[in-house]
Structure 1
Amino acid sequence: MSNGPHAKLAELGLELPDVVPPVASYVPAVQSGQHVYVSGQLPIAEGKLLATGKVGAGISAEQAKDLAQRCALNALAAVDSLVGLENVVKVVKLTGFVASAPGFIGQPAVINGASDLFGTVFGEAGRHARSAVGVAELPLDAPVEIELIVEVA
């Protein structure tokens, strides 16, 4: 267990938060067969959105990368509450959305905040397919949102 995902998070000085309650009509995560589909996760901590606005206008790319990591922690919390992180076999697909100011084209670097965390926590099993897209608006004026698909044992 000392090499498991919880231990890796602890080595990083991170701990899983409580599962973020849905802000609309959905559940945080659903298992279908050997996959867990995690609903879009915002950078929420202790019930509060950590930032609002557009990346490239008020929110720096570096700040947004940190917010993407928070989204990833929230996604991991949803997976853990449903099936346990120790049952994750593979991070399959990450989709990242970045509320982008006109002309901002650094979406991939922002979503690296989430990708890098999954790689560190799960090693080779954390390498995944990914999309990183810029959007005009996100729920609650969040700068970043991610959704996740993992394979479980």
Structure 2
Amino acid sequence: MSASARLAELGIELPDVVPPVASYVPAVQLGALVYTSGQLPLSGGALVHTGKVGEGAGLVSETDATAAARVAALNAVAAAASLAGGVDRIARVVKVVGFVASDPSFTGQPRVINGASNLLQEIFGDAGVHARSAVGVAVLPLDAPVEVELIVEVTTP
């Protein structure tokens, strides 16, 4: 099944490419690889959550951060697809790097970034299985709780 068919089956619409919030481009292609810039969990022009991830009052819950990682990953797929000539030209997800703005006591970064990884596997099947890093950081742009970047292999027309 094609990636576009899986998206339709999942009821997921590929969003428009999120405009950069600083001096960079959303993605760059080098040969058969597309590298995305870090994508935030923006939907409709706004972050779906803000703040640090952890347990306690005033923190983004692990559940909400995991959902935000899915949004960020979908934005990264949109950026990659825009250079590839469509989502069906993405042949394989090679690597995912996920950043989690974490409360100092939070150590569940891998579980949060599973939101991105699981989405990619839902969309691309076996071709969505990838190498990955999940890193806790002090703060992310715009006070986002997560940021996701991808390296994908694309087919040529």
Q: Which amino acid aligns with 1:100?
A: S
2:20 is the alignment partner of 1:5: no
Q: Which amino acid aligns with 2:75?
A: N
Does the CA contact (< 8 Å) of 2:73 and 2:119 recur in 1?
yes
Percent identity, aligned pairs only?
A: 64
Which of 127-136 and 57-66 deviates more? 57-66
**Of Structure 1 and Structure 2, which has the larger fraction of its residues in strand?**
1
Find the partner of 2:21 among 23, 38, 42: 23
Q: Which amino acid aligns with 1:25?
A: S
Find the partner of 2:53 among 46, 52, 55: 55
Which ranges of structure 2 fall in alignment gaps of 5 or more residues? none
| Within-5 A mapping of 1:37-116 | 37-56=35-54, 57=56, 58-83=59-84, 84-116=86-118
Q: 1:8 & 1:18 partners in 2: Cα distance? A: 18
Q: Which amino acid aligns with 1:151?
A: E
Q: 1:19 & 1:152 partners in 2: Cα distance? A: 17
Does the CA contact (< 8 Å) of 2:99 and 2:137 recur in 1?
yes
Superposition CA RMSD, Å: 0.8
Q: 1:90 & 1:112 partners in 2: Cα distance? A: 17
Q: How many residues align?
A: 151
Q: 1:126 & 1:89 partners in 2: Cα distance? A: 9
- Kindly state the Cα deviation for residue 85 of structure 1 after the two structures are TM-superposed: 1.3
Q: Deviation digits for residues 93-129 of structure 1, max 9, x if unmatched?
A: 0000000001100000000000001111111110000
Q: 1:64 & 1:7 partners in 2: Cα distance? A: 27
- Calculate the TM-score normalised by the size of structure 2: 0.94
Which ranges of structure 1 fall in alignment gaps of 5 or more residues? none
